[in-house]
Amino acid sequence: GGSASRLAMRFFQGGLPKPVTKTGSTFLGRRFEELIDERSAELAELKFKVMVDGVAERDDIALVRYLCSFGSVKNTLEALKAADRVGKEKEEVLRRAEEGRPLPCAERVEAYQKVCSW
């Protein structure tokens, strides 16, 4: 309950990092090898900071996509940290969904799901 509310508040208050470019606009149609070579210095700095800050490791393709989207090593590192936080906060939800067990608050949401049609 409380952590989901805090996450929602942070999201709606703009607490999560925002990309500086439209998703994919800086790398669509380009080979990842080319992007990795082009941003190799930033990628090396980011890998070091990821290791030092204890951020979950990602492969070069994921890191260069984040770099292209968030523009700088600093912004990218913040985005990676935010992704890790959201993953930890959603861990219980994801595990229970995988196990087919609803969350205790599911009945409060179900009434609204029946009204909505996607």
So what's the pLDDT on residue 37? 94
Burial of 64 (0-12, 13-18, 19+ CB in 10 A): buried
Range of the domain at 59: 2-115
Residues 70-105 have pLDDT tens digits of 999 999 999 999 999 988 888 988 888 889 888 887
Q: What is the mean pLDDT of the chain?
A: 82
Residues 32-48 have pLDDT tens digits of 899 999 999 999 999 99
Q: Indicate the pLDDT class of residue 1, thresholds 50, 70 and 90.
A: very low
- Phi first, then psi: give them for residue 26, nearest 5 degrees: -90, -10
Residue with tokens 């190799």: 40
Q: Which of 18-22, 75-79, 103-107, 113-117 has the lowest mean pLDDT?
A: 113-117
Diameter of the chain by CA atoms? 52
Best CA proximity match to 83, nearest among 101, 108, 58, 102: 58
How is residue 56 written in tokens?
Answer: 């979950």
Query: Domain total for the chain?
Result: 1
User: CA angle, corner 34, sides to 28 and 39, nearest 5?
Assistant: 100
So what's the pLDDT on residue 115? 59
